[in-house]
Amino acid sequence: METRLFIIGAVMLAWAITAKILKKKNLLENKFIFTALHVIFIATVTFLAFWLFDFVSNGGDVAMIEFSLTKTLIRAAIIIAFCIWGAVASFKGDGKKRIKIFAKDYEWADTIYFSALLAAFVMFFFVQAFKIPSASMRNTLIEGDHLFVNKAVYGFRIPLTSVRFGQFRDIKKGDVIIFAFPSTTKDQINCGGPQFGRDYVKRIIALPGDKVEIKGEQVFVNDIKQEHQSYEVFDATERYSFKNFEQQKEYQKKWEDMVLENYYGMLLRDQFGPVIVPEGHYFVMGDNRDYSCDSRFWGPVPRENIKGKVWFIHFPFSRARFIK
């Protein structure tokens, strides 16, 4: 979301700067140049509105945005109609009419770029909104919960890079985090489909260098049996058990390459590892252990993919609370 807002703000700022330069050089007195500038403004704002609407209406999930020829043609027709209407109004208008049109365009551009860049700044560095899409974190977080994520607690990230500074605290076991799914291509299949571009919410189970193994409902970290926590949820279901004869090195490599699920499938739910969490990576699981596609199936989460720590639920109001 913050990247899209930044792009929207940057585009509108570029239009505003261009308009100022043209006005200063008295080039807007030319009807053709003025009309072209007005049409570009209308087309840009309309296109960006559709672009942002697609993202928001799909819950911020880029992978869910599907191409539709019909929708594209309808939107193109709307943009063209607005542009024609704007071109006629600006070209036929007298000097006073054009001054009013320019003032309105510039005011809107100024409002949009300031608001978008301010929102992008806040979301890049401090707080991001997130909506829970699945049951993998029940009962800590349930479908439809709206959250605020603290993006500053693990350090401020420089936009479009993995560089961080000003870290307030380290990532700890038990933290509930938001992260970008660690797939590198749109064609990569995990958890039954492509996950590229999606944000996930899970709980930190193990840190870099830790050894992780799972037997049934029990998690072992560095060969130490982890006590069950009140937030863990299990189904009364039959548990899988099998003997893994694969070489540890090969098993580890498949896990880090995010293909282990292709070989073992749902068996990994109850019989996993042991693996060593690589440096700069974390092992995560959902609290609803039997209905969570997590590090057991697709591997560790790189540090640079972690966006922040879940802060609190702000909606529905009946579930408003801080998350520990």
DSSP conformation letters of 42-89: HHHHHHHHHHHHHHHHTTT-GGG----HHHHHHHHHHHHHHHHHHHHH
Q: What is the pLDDT of residue 280?
A: 95
Encoding tokens for residue 257? 């390459």
Question: Is 202 in the active site?
Answer: yes
C-alpha–C-alpha distance, residues 50 and 46, integer Å: 6
Q: What is the pLDDT of residue 80?
A: 96
Amino acid at 6: F
Cα dist. 46→79, 81, 137 in Å?
Answer: 6, 11, 38
Encoding tokens for residue 240? 């899988």
**pTM confidence score:** 0.76
Mean pLDDT (the chain) is 91
Q: What is the pLDDT of residue 24?
A: 92
Catalytic residue among 151, 202, 254, 309: 202
C-alpha–C-alpha distance, residues 157 and 22, integer Å: 36
Secondary structure class of 114 (helix, strand, coil)? helix
Q: Is the pLDDT of residue 239 over 90?
A: no
Q: What is the pLDDT of residue 251?
A: 95
Q: Is the pLDDT of residue 162 over 80?
A: no
Q: Is the pLDDT of residue 29 over 80?
A: yes
Q: Is the pLDDT of residue 62 over 70?
A: no
Encoding tokens for residue 248? 């540890």
Q: Under a CB-based contact definition with an 8 Å cutoff, are residues 267 and 240 in contact? A: yes
Catalytic residue among 136, 183, 292, 295: 136
Q: Is the pLDDT of residue 182 over 70?
A: yes
